[in-house]
A and B are shown apart, each in its own frame.
Chain A
């Protein structure tokens, strides 16, 4: 056991525990806070994969934006949360069986796959350069089209979110 492996196991246990709490906590605000912990654990995993740029982006976008948005959503809809008894529906046992089958299927489909045991050497510093990713995104022969499509998607989501959440006066009763 190297220190990296021990760190990975601790991070994995933290992520899995907080993910379980996030999907099963009764109060929505607790669920959102456990979700933040799971996201921070995922950021640690990204850092262990030597993708430090993505670890920072994970903290910025997920913890900084998405989690805050979800907490706002929880707070704006608070009244409906703690009333009627059960917070999960009747299908719990069936769903547990389905999920266990999905997990077993994923593990089973992996077991004979050769690159599974791949290990790797630490990356040299020129592979860790974020600038090459930025250049790849602006290079027309590489990823500039996906980049532009992604930005159009983001713009469409922005406009759509404003339009949907906008309170129209004529519909108010």
Chain B
């Protein structure tokens, strides 16, 4: 059987890769992909904790959290891509540095 910490280290590594991408990417869609990777890391963590610490008691809270994160990820992708396409239509760019009309 796989010990719990293997899952935790895997999800920490995916989270850090996603964090790296979210900070360094210039393309807005790349930033969105990185954020989705981080949400996936959180999901692995939640399901691993659910499986190892709560599943035997029939406790479903971990699964409920995972479903809510799925919904949040889907809405975030939809709204994010709508914003990117809207910004692209106006400024002909998806580079995050060049979308600066809200900069003070």
A residues bordering B, Cβ < 8 Å?
2, 4-5, 8, 12, 15-16, 19-20, 22-24, 28, 31-32, 35, 38-39, 42, 45-46, 48-51, 54, 57-58, 61-62, 65-66, 69-70, 72-74, 76-77, 79-81, 84, 86-89, 91-92, 95-96, 98-100, 102-103, 106-107, 110, 115-121, 123, 127, 132-133, 136-137, 142-143, 146, 150, 153-154, 156-158, 160-162, 164-165, 167
Contact = CB atoms under 8 A, between A and B. Distances in A.
B84 A73 contact: yes
A19 B10 contact: no
A120 B89 contact: no
Contacts, number: 241
Given A80-B92, A102-B16, A150-B68, A164 B74 contact: no
Contacts of B13: 16, 103
Nearest to B24: A88
Given A42-B44, A117-B4, A66 B16 contact: no
A98 B29 CA distance: 22
A15 B9 CA distance: 13
Contacts of A79: 92
5 contacts: A35-B36, A49-B48, A88-B26, A118-B52, A162-B82
A86 B30 CA distance: 13
Contacts of B86: 164-165
Contact of A99 (B6, B16, B78, B82): B16
A99 B29 contact: no
Contact of A115 (B2, B53, B64, B94): B53
Contacts of B76: 157
B44 A133 contact: no
Interface residue SS majority, chain B? helix
A164 B83 contact: yes
Contacts of B60: 132-133, 136, 142-143
B75 A119 contact: no
Nearest to B88: A77
Lowest 4 A-B CB distances belong to which pairs? Answer: A23-B21, A157-B75, A165-B82, A161-B82
A156 B76 CA distance: 11
B79 interface: yes
A66 B17 contact: no
